[in-house]
Structure 1
């Protein structure tokens, strides 16, 4: 076959091979009318290809020996043919001169082609590629002519696939496809900035690497805008340098090309990328039909093409959903790029890329539809038989306009309320600064704000209701739960008088009410107030997702307090889903903290720790390691680790919480003070009483200067000081502090805090031998915890253990044994068989049984005295078991018993140099051993 004949056949054969089999015949019939010989030759080649799949694997023109695989060409060795066209070939080659190793795509002129225009085009491609230095354009690495006169270009070898097949195989969504396409626009814009028009942009020239990076290839027919143009390309069935399906109208007409020619081709690529089809729907797939469509046809809107797409072609969207996604801005963007007149297209590839970025970011785009009149005329022409339907649509639009008008009035009303609130706050602070020379504290300022607001907002009930909620939230932050409750009650009396009050105000009010009642220890009222609005929250999820999520989170906390764990889990899961959808990372962290608290309440501390650690890792990845929410999560993690006898981990996380609070808020902030107090509680467990007491004294002084004496948080401070005083043996001081704590907590009404307070008071009184006073308190603690967490909770097991020890001291062994057996069962099920709380319950039960004649009980005490664990709480329990086992021998073998007790004391001193309640108990046993005096009370674990 001669060269000229092959140059004419090659592009037509390529186009036919890309068509479906049923369309090839129609195309060949059209060609036959224009050139029978050419059509017959193409049909013969197609028949050969159908009979032998490898027919086209070898070139149609024979190659000289210098271009065969394995042969050197300059410094390169050819490996395998990557592709070829009518003008040249591209080979995968290795650098073979030993200078360095690298694979390249070696582009060659087809041997034997002497056409000077093709040689000129090849040389021009080299000059063009030498201008480029862009990450999305395949780079020119080398160029030369071998000893046989064969020119070559060594290009960056790109392992990738065409952009359309890349997106389809990976089922990329529309934003991901647009991000890739914008890389193409960047590359084309760089070429235009270097005065170069590509002129043959199509998917096969745009490869995407496995890393998701675009590479633009094949500048073989690119045009330098600053040189004389080449002769016009032939059309119809002649040699055509460009690819017809992606050609612009001016290319078909043979007019000069500009940068906007590439914009048109980019529009065709974008159309195919979004819809999986070409812009024109033709009856016959022939060159003549294509040229006519490109010159005069109206491109189908991408959204309409999507409706006709095959389901496989529109993945990961259904055709209907894809049409909805494309309708509007994307339709306009693509059609603007495909405008017939170059001046009506985007002025540059960069402008097209910018409009796509505006679409991705939800901003207005430059591409806009035609005038309203034009669009109306077109609509009537297409749908003249549907005018009756239009009347119904018009009615719907009228109703919609009415709704919009109502919403506009409501928006004006809300704006007026916001302005009134802004003016109120400004005037409040102005008055506060000029009222006197004495600074006004925050609480006084809030009280002043309520008085002023009720006067200045008397005629604006919605603004007044909002003011009550805002001040109540501030009061909650200060711990003023009663004052917050009073404000929310005023708000609740206003809301029924406001039928048009916004849903956001109602949801926020319900959430605040729930928070207040939870803090006051009444989760039942919390649930009763919030539950009726759950349906409202579900209805408002699309419009108010974050307010709905906050509502679910608070209702879930109250459900958890009531022991309704299934409902709490469902509510927290919904809150997490909404916050994840809105990318509210801080809210997601708060919900994970709620979930961890729920798992802890369900007796699953291990799962709670994992939830917290996962949430903390996610928070650090998204919002950084210094987000305030991390302080609460670290404190909760520390508390759980302390409860699971992992003291070292608890100390690490408590210190991290304190460090972060100091960095973010300074030393004089409430978060820092609370973190410091929690670390001091760990120091108490470690026997570092002086250090812990110093911290507690400082933090109590800080709070007492800011809070009322009976504030619930002051009760926590009193409780901490009471525990330290008890550990150091100052029983009277411990009782006084703990009584103050219980009194304050009783005023708060929080059942969980009251239970913890009366338990500690009963424990201190029991250690002091005042068991008649301790007994009702221990029973109250058990009843409160059973009501809050359920009768089978592990904390109820702790209460039953203390109750059993007190009953034993009061001479009621049967009742004591029953309580201790319950304690062993509950702690073993809740804390696990190896937990220190479980061992303490087992020790108390074994001691009681041994003292009342159970022959096997002393052996159980000895077994419980195993001190192989390195955990301090485990060792404390083991020391107590050894001491009780030795105490049993005091009557028969007093000398040996005293030696054993001395050994226990010796083991404790290095780890508890400041003593504590357990060393004091062992010393008491040692002093009473052999003297005939009673050994004293069992030490309860706080």
Structure 2
């Protein structure tokens, strides 16, 4: 028997053996392409399978499934299993909690079914472990550890991804087209990375892609991955060819279904099925009610309809962008899904490049060959220049009354459109906070008066006017501290953006990235930087993208990289980029402070404030922004006298520019309360802190990250006034909201957990205090920049005190004594010193550091 015949027989047996005896016979007889010897051989193999059924893996599977329930609470290395996550052909996946090292960490552990282990399955599991160890990519679930149980059963400890499957994520969040494509491009980057490491996934499907709440996709399940080399680490690849039928029929490439050689184009096809579903909201094929023969014929012979047609034929409500799905996207998806592997994109990078071409308005490779199409894309990119040229030719070529009448009519129409634009832009300028000195403007009023115009149907035939107006409104939203509203507005005019001028398109894309950054969607800003930063046309545009890149580094705690970028932007010699340079200079003191360069931070802040007072006068949004930044620096430097004066000034200015119900005024009020509390004016500080919390709830809602911070500020003041019960309630509220909405590298969340632990300890809740401080210590271990040495020393004291109260012993008492001495020597910051004083009321005078 030739190797190709053997592979064909083996493939058919793998399919038929899954059916009931009656279904096996019917399916086998329906296959008209089989010769008599092959048909007879399959009959014999199936009969042997039936005769030896009691010796196959079926009973073992039952036992394995039964045993899986007994894993809960079982200790695997440093982890204890807490729940079952899923079941696979070769093993079960569990969620586990780390119980060693006082670290709060959840992981996923894949444990093989011991009853199913043989040479082939062991080889597959070893290969999966080797693949995961090799692939270290932010969009691939990472492997942390591996090992074997006492009975030799192998296991893998992997990253636990608390996220939604890709289809559920985009449906739940109402994700727009551009964001879907950016998610998909991140997935392409992960698969291309695997290919560069000579690994083919072979089972790419939407269910194997999870998306975190921060919008980061994670590719899972390399259980049937295929290395494109003979050896990977210590694993011989030839040992892993068995059990290759573990794939999803909805996403399997035709050549994979036929048992043919698998290459990187197999993953191109899998990505094509994912893109198809992202575009139209439906799987590639509807296989409901089909038998396996019909399934194989459908996949091997039927071409899927374009995503746009599939979406239009759906009974479900379509998203706005699905109603006019671009032909280019149809072509890209179908090109990736061609049945012949040689006719698809040659690589994942080629697929991603075509999507980037689409996003930038260039012709896509999937539609090459049509001169008319290329001409259309050229016209779209250069419509202004070509329209001007065409008009010039027409002016020369067309003469007479008819030409004159048409020309005058066109000119009149253009003038009317320009007049509409000027009128609306002038209206915007009239209500901008910088000029509205005699009236209060709320975010709602701006939206009602201006935002509605940008989205009104009266501008349906004037996309250029709509985008220009939307860019102005989005800038005002950002100035008012309303990034979510700005982002919503931009997404609602998404279809008009490609037709906007280069200048307006740049303003919209940078406003979008700024809003995403303020909302913590760092991955989206990084994707925008990759898409747009390199294609910036002018020096001011490049500076604006560099400023956004610095913001990404700040958000990720990468302050050295942020400082280098900010210094470059601030020193740029470009008069047209004055606002961008000012924004960079406002961020510089904050980054210097985070790097421990306190004197430089204060000097930089004061210098900028002095310049802006001279430049902008008494009342200007730019001066207010600078005042707020300098105010934050003074609070961080414990300079509360200056901070109180600056806060009072910002309250007056923000009330005048924006009104008392604005986010900017609320932030100024909260900072003023903090400064007053440090100056001993606790009653007034408490009133202002409560008022600011009430305002922020109305503006941002109860579950916003900023609301968590306001609970924390109020708790600190209540603690100073001696109302420890109320303080504990607000610390707990801050922690509850922060843990659900803040990033794990947020120093604000670290301090909230730190203070909550101290308050719980003071209320004789050592178990709760231990859990809270362990969360803070785990953050500091993973993200060292969130911690400060003095806070870390006090945190270790809280941990020791909690242990000693839960289980008093000489060892724990010694740990308390040692931690107390260390904390007293290290506690220099105000927060650390006050917390230490509450925990250890009478420290030795010679060991307590003097306040700065």
Q: Which has the higher contact order (CA 8 A, sep 6+)?
A: 2
**If you compute each CA radius of gyration, which structure gives the higher value, 1 or 2?**
1
Q: TM-score range by the shorter chain?
A: 0.3 to 0.5
